Chain A
Amino acid sequence: MTMLMQSLSISGILTIDMHSLNNEGAEGNQLQTRMVHIVDENGEPTVVNAISGDMLKHIQAEHLHGLALEKELPLCAGCTKFNSNRINADAEFFKSLGDKNAIGDTLKKVLQHCAVDDLEGVLITQGGRSTPRKSTVEFGWLVGVPEKTRTESYFHVKFDNNRGQGSGDESGANLGQNIFYRPASSGEYALVMNAELSRVGFNDVEREYQITDEDRKKRTRALLESILLTFIRPLGAHRNTQFPHIVNFQGIVTTSTAAIPAPTVSPLNGSYLDEVQKIQENLNRLFSDAITTYKFESQSEFTKIMADLIEQVR
């Protein structure tokens, strides 16, 4: 398999408007979006809207699921139905596994049985086991840039023409007229993520690859494609009426051809692009030009960089 990339990272600013992708809960009829407290560039605390890394991972996993079905990658019964229990929901797999297995042997069978469990990770506890598979892809929180992010709460009504009896329904049935408030956030969001491409199909216990080079290539391409789609078509909450407007995506893709991870710098730092390039220069002095960077100013440039990198996996 010709694949020099061992890992890939993205640091960037994603501009999205009027979204409600990640919410923390509701109080009465007020839906509350996820907010985090951070410190701005002047050292003052401030509160901004954020989308958790869990949500980004969920979006990426859903894209990967679609790609895996399309490319006919091997999937367990759980992942075929996009069940969050993944291989734990595959009774036939556990029957074939038997009672007693060394942890390395269980992991080998998991990697060979399902591409999504391989790439996204899983924890198996059935039968007294404790077998973890660490995900090959990781997302940090998508954090709003202070002063460049706004959140408002908007009034909505589920209108009922026959509301003579008043609002709502005492039985708890979803009947009658209801009013509710839903948040919408707009602005620039700081993103960091990393993918450990060298671990695709790799058994961390036995320290060896458990699938063929051809299968590693297919899974690596699917993984990179799912990352690309995460920033082209966001999934998440309330898209039926608040599908996010992606206005722009700018930042830097870094790749590493050695064990040293591809670097990231938070775009909350206004000079993150320069920082990444200085880190690249310093690391390349130590690790013989292992790090390559690709700047992008728009979604189309990002798409081209990712498409070029995906084509290199051959």
Chain B
Amino acid sequence: MWLVTTYQHTSLFSLRNSSATSSGGKTNLIPTMYSVKMALLDAAFRMGLDVSLEFPWIRDLEIRFEPPEQAVVNNSFIKILTEPKDKKAGPAFITSVGFREFVFYDGTLKIAVKIENLTQNHIDKLKLLFFHVNYFGKRGGFLQPICQGIQEYLGSTFSYFLGENGKFSSDVIMQYLDDMGPKATFPSINTFDDTAARIGRDRIMKSVFVPYHQVASSRGYTWFKRESSGSS
């Protein structure tokens, strides 16, 4: 059983790939499981919940994505502020230029969470938390929750992990997306805590197959499509 929340993107999306540098900001095609969990924790704060208590079950959520039917990745150069090589002399940040990708989506993004192992109390909270999220990734990349429902099975238009069995799309693009590890602690993922998040323990990389195929590409953009939901 899966809780599926449908979002409509209302602006261009960008979430830098974990291996991207500040001057070469390649974006992921979809949000990562880590970014969704962080957004849920942020929403929990705003709802006035005790987040250290809510953290363990949010950390362990199993998440899948059905990307919008079409995505166009725009290549662009923007002005950025970056730390100078000599950090002791001169200003804290200097103006530079960085490569950034911004994704325009056509259609809705669905985020599915496995709820079989969750208590009813957690499911009720999860439903509300998803309605409090209005962006994943770079700020200003707004999305709007429009509906929510329960599905017994996910179709082939949803993402899946390397090694998973099931009926999946064979037309896919693989992305390394981050997730929270089962041993991650709240201080380690807390941006305001000095405890560092360790790769491989607190933050783990997963090979995710995104059901997209490339339609066209040029200097300025790359256009992706997926099969329609009805064909799954």
A residues with a Cβ closer than 8 A to B are 11, 24-25, 34-39, 43, 45, 47, 52-54, 57, 84-85, 88-89, 103-104, 124-126, 132, 134-135, 138-141, 143, 192-194, 204-205, 207, 259-261, 263-266, 269, 275, 279, 282-283, 286-287
Contact = CB atoms under 8 A, between A and B. Distances in A.
A89 B92 contact: yes
Contact of B144 (A88, A125, A205, A263): A263
Contact of A205 (B8, B48, B147, B192): B192
Contact of B192 (A204, A275, A283): A204
A89 B91 contact: yes
Given A37-B72, A37-B74, A84-B95, A266 B146 contact: no
Nearest to A42: B106
Given A24-B77, A141-B11, A265-B10, A43 B106 contact: yes
B198 interface: no
B6 to A, nearest CB: 12
A139 B140 contact: yes
Given A24-B76, A34-B76, A194-B134, A259 B10 contact: no
Contacts of A194: 134, 142
A273 to B, nearest CB: 13
Contacts of B92: 85, 88-89, 124-126
B45 interface: yes
Given A88-B91, A279-B146, A54 B12 contact: no
Interface residues of B, number: 47
B9 interface: yes
Contacts of A25: 77
A263 B134 CA distance: 8
Given A35-B220, A43-B70, A45-B216, A138 B95 contact: no
Contacts, number: 125
Interface of B: 8-12, 43, 45-48, 69-70, 72, 74, 76-79, 81, 83, 91-93, 95, 102, 104, 106, 128, 131-132, 134-135, 139-142, 144, 146-147, 191-194, 216, 220-221, 223
The 7 closest A-B pairs by CB, nearest first: A140-B11, A88-B92, A37-B221, A39-B106, A261-B134, A266-B10, A53-B140
Given A140-B12, A140-B140, A279-B146, A207 B132 contact: no
B76 A283 contact: no
Q: Give the residue among B10, B77, B92, B134 with the most A Cβ atoms within 10 A.
A: B10
Contacts of B141: 140
A267 to B, nearest CB: 9
B132 A259 contact: yes
Given A259-B46, A259-B48, A88 B93 contact: yes
Contact of B104 (A36, A57, A139): A36
Given A85-B81, A279-B144, 11 more contacts: A37-B104, A43-B69, A45-B70, A45-B216, A138-B139, A140-B10, A140-B140, A194-B142, A204-B192, A265-B8, A266-B8
Q: Give the residue among A11, A39, A192 with the most B Cβ atoms within 10 A.
A: A39
Nearest to A196: B46
B192 A104 contact: yes
Nearest to B127: A286
A146 B157 CA distance: 28
Contacts of B78: 52, 54
16 contacts: A36-B12, A37-B104, A45-B70, A53-B11, A85-B91, A88-B91, A89-B91, A104-B192, A132-B191, A140-B140, A141-B11, A143-B12, A192-B11, A260-B131, A266-B9, A279-B144
